[in-house]
Amino acid sequence: MKLDGNAVCYILSQRFEDVVSYLPARSPIVDYPRLYDEADDMSGHTVFVPENVLLDKHCRMQDVVCVCVGEKSARAAVEAGYPVIHVRDAVSEQHLFNGMQADHVNHERLDARLRAYLDTHAGFAPLLDACARAMGCSFALVDNRFKIMAQADQRSGSASTWLEGALDEDDFDLFMASPDYGRMRQARYVFSLPEKTGLLMKNIFAGNEVVCSLFVAHERTIEGERYARFLLEYLAPFVEEMFVRLGSFGLAAEEEMQVRAALSRAFNGDLDDCAMLDQILAGHADAQETANLRFVVLCFERSFTNEGAEGLGYLAHRIELAWPQSYVIVEGDTLYALLNTGVYVRNGGADIGQRLAQFARDALVKIGISRQFSSSVQLEAARMQSMAALAQGNIDDPMFWLYRFDDYALNWLMRCGRGSYPPEYFCHSAILELLRYDEEHGSELVHTLSEFIESRYNATAAAQKLFVARSTLLNRLDRIVELVQIDLDDFDERMYLALSLKALRDSAGWVR
């Protein structure tokens, strides 16, 4: 039985008091019963060796690491010339092996999760957060100017200030100014920072250039430092590949969090941070965009998926990467995005809707779009518009992917205004009387009135649509006024009639 993973990770994570460790590459573990099969080649594996199992140099085991429990098994493996991880604590073999099994399953899941983040170009913060939660350590990523780009804390998987305190220490400042620091900045191996900080550091390269450094905090013990070194070696390739895919860091994590927090408060009516938010958004636009900043709020609804909260995280990162200068916040099961349309106006912004529709189809989401606005004080209204567009669009056009508020505002207003009541409960009484009259006499007075209103009260245009003479139309209108006693010259009367006819048409199809 082979289990993908690394024994070193489990053993050092348990902080056994007495562990002698070699640091191998990540490799499978081989269950110890296979040691008795002399025909089996275990080269390149991490081999679990229980107490009283004695290896010799004739075993087919090249480039292996032996995890040995007990003095006899460890001594025999050393004498045979194999690298050994010797666990000398009072720990049962079954407990150790079962623990390794569970740990390696978790590591396989972590590998898959990090690979998914790479495939979706999710950014650096998700990589660090996932490792912090799974490994129980604190990570940070800083650029070559030592500006913190992303960090994650073992307690919650969220950004914290643990690294800032370490970077402010005098010892660390002296180290940065020393000649040793310049040499270490070009090193490709893991090295220690001043002992007082309890930090390890590994440089991340793009080609031959150092682009950032990855930090991990440890418990300042021998085992803790070994474990931290392993984690840096494990995480560094993912960070390097993410940098290659993204090509840059984008906004610092702290600034992104500041923008998202201000957005969340503004969405809920707290306008205290609007001036600060406008300043930040203008600062990230170029000179041409700043002169004519225009934003929209997008409301996303996932379709055809049973993904949980983690799926929302994937989608949020995918949105921000697909749409430069966009910021996504998650509230419950809903995603909201602030999109700077000025980025796309320069490149012929007419295709924004088409691009959004294509993105929605590919990501299996539906999108409600607010009206454009230029100031953060309008964020609360824009959020409402995006939600209304999505809600009404799902009713009117359930097969569409994209819904603009202006296309659905009237229907939404009528639906919200009348609630769930049928239109005959609230529409103009004259319309109901005309409907009954038409049904009894086989006339088309409601249809005539509807065409007259839709023709902007132009009798000639309405007559042409009805294929009757203008005089015939005027006679019908006179008949309508006589029957139901309405004033077609009154503005409020006209508005009430128009809304009533639209409600009846949309809900029951009574008006042809």
Model pLDDT, residue 4: 42
Winning range, highest mean pLDDT, from 33-47, 224-238, 377-391: 377-391
Helices (H) and strands (E) in the chain, counts: 21, 16
Position 157 confidence tier, pLDDT thresholds 50, 70, 90: very low
pLDDT-above-90 percentage for the chain? 13
Average pLDDT of the residues in 452-466: 91
One-letter identity of residue 291? A
Calpha distance 20→68 (Å, rounded): 10
Q: Is pLDDT at 469 greater than 90 in this prediction?
A: yes
Q: Indicate the length of the chain as a whole number.
A: 512
The count of other CB atoms within 10 Å of the CB of residue 222 is: 12
Calpha distance 382→370 (Å, rounded): 5
Query: Of the ranges 65-69, 319-323, 508-512, which one carries the lowest mean pLDDT score?
Result: 508-512
Calpha distance 256→126 (Å, rounded): 13
Position 445 confidence tier, pLDDT thresholds 50, 70, 90: very high
Q: What is the rounded (10 degree) CA torsion for 265, 271, 272, 276?
A: 90
Model pLDDT, residue 462: 92
Average pLDDT of the residues in 378-400: 89
pLDDT tens-place string over residues 394-425: 998 988 989 998 888 888 877 887 776 777 77
**Phi, psi (degrees; rounded to nearest 5) at 29:** -105, 140
Cβ-count burial 177-210 (b if 16+ within 10 Å, e if not): eeeeeeebeeeeebbebbeebbbbbbbbeeeeee
Q: Which residue has the higher pLDDT, 434 or 304?
A: 434
pLDDT tens-place string over residues 171-215: 555 666 666 666 776 778 887 776 656 788 888 887 777 888 888
Model pLDDT, residue 148: 72
CB distance 343 to 325 below 8 Å:
yes
Average pLDDT of the residues in 43-60: 76
Q: Is pLDDT at 159 greater than 50 in this prediction?
A: no
> 489 CB contacts (<8 Å, ≥6 apart)?
none
Calpha distance 242→114 (Å, rounded): 10
Query: What is the secondary structure of 258-289 as a DSSP string?
Result: HHHHHHHHHHTT--TTHHHHHHHHHHTS-HHH
Closest CA to 55 of 29, 28, 81: 81
> Given the DSSP bridges, would you call strands 46-49 and 65-69 parallel, antiparallel or unpaired?
parallel
Q: Which residue has the higher pLDDT, 16 or 203?
A: 203
Calpha distance 140→128 (Å, rounded): 7
One-letter identity of residue 141? L
Calpha distance 466→453 (Å, rounded): 13
Q: Which residue has the higher pLDDT, 103 or 353?
A: 353
Model pLDDT, residue 165: 58
Residue 36, token pair as written in the block: 């008795």
Position 99 confidence tier, pLDDT thresholds 50, 70, 90: low
Calpha distance 93→18 (Å, rounded): 15
Winning range, highest mean pLDDT, from 73-77, 146-150, 163-167: 73-77
Average pLDDT of the residues in 155-169: 52
Closest CA to 375 of 469, 510, 268, 281: 281
Helix (H) or strand (E) holding 374: none
Model pLDDT, residue 23: 46
Closest CA to 194 of 180, 211, 209: 180
Calpha distance 469→178 (Å, rounded): 97
Model pLDDT, residue 24: 46
CB distance 511 to 446 below 8 Å:
yes
Q: Is pLDDT at 275 greater than 80 in this prediction?
A: no
Q: Is pLDDT at 452 greater than 90 in this prediction?
A: yes
Q: Is pLDDT at 288 greater than 50 in this prediction?
A: no
pLDDT tens-place string over residues 106-119: 667 778 888 888 87
